[in-house]
């Protein structure tokens, strides 16, 4: 059971990485990076205008910006795996802290290597880390406020509360938990939520009956998914199809249940 849980966590992380880095080479991202580098080179913040010539400053800010972007993407994927979408404050705090911890030593080393004026004793790692932390937090908060990260904002809207089914009352963690998938395992049902997986002694059919009013669909005789949790479909080879859930789960689709998914608009 432990091995299975670890595989699930790494699978979640891998899927969040793919989702996050899918925008890495988009025109919007590249334009934003180019503008950021240009502004930094011209303005020369943190003393780089006074201590670095133009060519060195351009190389420094290019490497620093791309490094920050990669680490920010990695941090976002990590927090999405750990906290999902139900703890936006911890998500943003954790992402900003992770960026600071990883990026600060890199920036310290880069500045020490490329700056022809500053001595090592003038480069204070805690100060660099604090500056990065404030900037990273500001960016993650801004992303959420303008809707690039969901939920957009930190105030819980009553209209967005997770519907409560009878099956919710069987779970040890009831508050705001979102049920995404049900899977049969002998005489038990694995209930996959945005907080993890819990096993109940219950038949799959009875568990599905208790999911009302949450809309869902069977993808396989052993699997049921909530429609609100589906984010995509993956075709692996000619005969294997998987439904991808928001938490990164890959749920198999059997040939018998494909027509139901076609009717629901999940397959083409």
Per-residue pLDDT of the chain (268 residues; tens, 9 = 90+): 333 333 336 767 887 788 889 889 989 899 999 999 999 999 999 999 999 999 999 999 999 999 999 999 999 999 988 887 667 899 999 999 999 999 999 999 999 999 999 888 889 999 999 999 999 999 999 998 887 887 767 765 444 556 788 998 888 866 668 899 999 988 899 999 887 888 999 999 999 999 999 999 999 999 999 998 888 888 877 778 888 888 778 899 998 988 888 888 887 6
Burial of 223 (0-12, 13-18, 19+ CB in 10 A): buried
Element (H, E) at 260: helix 258-263
The DSSP letter of residue 158 is G
Predicted structure pTM score: 0.61
Indicate the fold that domain 162-263 takes in CATH.
OB fold (Dihydrolipoamide Acetyltransferase, E2P) (2.40.50)
Q: Tokens 């790494």 belong to which residue? A: 10
Q: What is the pLDDT of residue 100?
A: 98
Beta strands 179-185 and 188-193: pairing type?
antiparallel
152 phi, psi to nearest 5 deg: -85, 100
Would you list the domain boundaries of the chain? Answer: 2-145, 162-263
Nearest to 214 by CA among 189, 193, 185: 193
């Amino acid at each position: 059971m432990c091995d299975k849980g670890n595989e699930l966590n790494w699978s979640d992380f891998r899927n969040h990485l793919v989702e996050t880095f899918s925008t890495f080479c988009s025109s919007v991202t590249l334009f934003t990076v180019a503008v950021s580098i240009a502004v930094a080179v011209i303005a020369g913040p943190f003393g780089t205008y006074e201590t670095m010539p133009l060519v060195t400053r351009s190389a420094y800010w290019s490497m620093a910006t791309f490094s920050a972007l990669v680490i920010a993407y990695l941090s976002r994927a990590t927090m999405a795996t750990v906290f999902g979408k139900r703890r936006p404050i911890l998500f943003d705090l954790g992402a900003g802290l992770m960026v600071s911890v990883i990026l600060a030593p890199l920036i310290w080393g880069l500045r020490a290597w490329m700056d022809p004026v500053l001595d090592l004793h003038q480069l204070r790692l805690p100060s660099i880390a604090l500056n990065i932390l404030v900037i990273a937090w500001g960016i993650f908060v801004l992303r959420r406020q303008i809707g690039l990260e969901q939920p957009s904002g930190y105030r819980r809207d009553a209209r967005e509360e997770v519907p409560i089914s009878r099956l919710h009352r069987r779970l040890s963690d009831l508050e705001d938990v979102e049920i995404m998938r049900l899977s049969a395992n002998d005489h038990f049902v694995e209930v996959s939520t945005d907080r993890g997986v819990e096993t109940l002694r219950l038949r799959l059919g009875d568990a599905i009956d208790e999911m009302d009013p949450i809309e869902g669909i069977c993808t396989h005789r052993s699997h049921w998914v909530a429609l609100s949790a589906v984010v995509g479909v993956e075709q692996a080879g000619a005969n294997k199809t998987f439904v991808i859930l928001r938490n990164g789960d890959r749920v198999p689709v059997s040939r018998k249940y494909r027509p139901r998914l076609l009717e629901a608009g999940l397959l083409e």
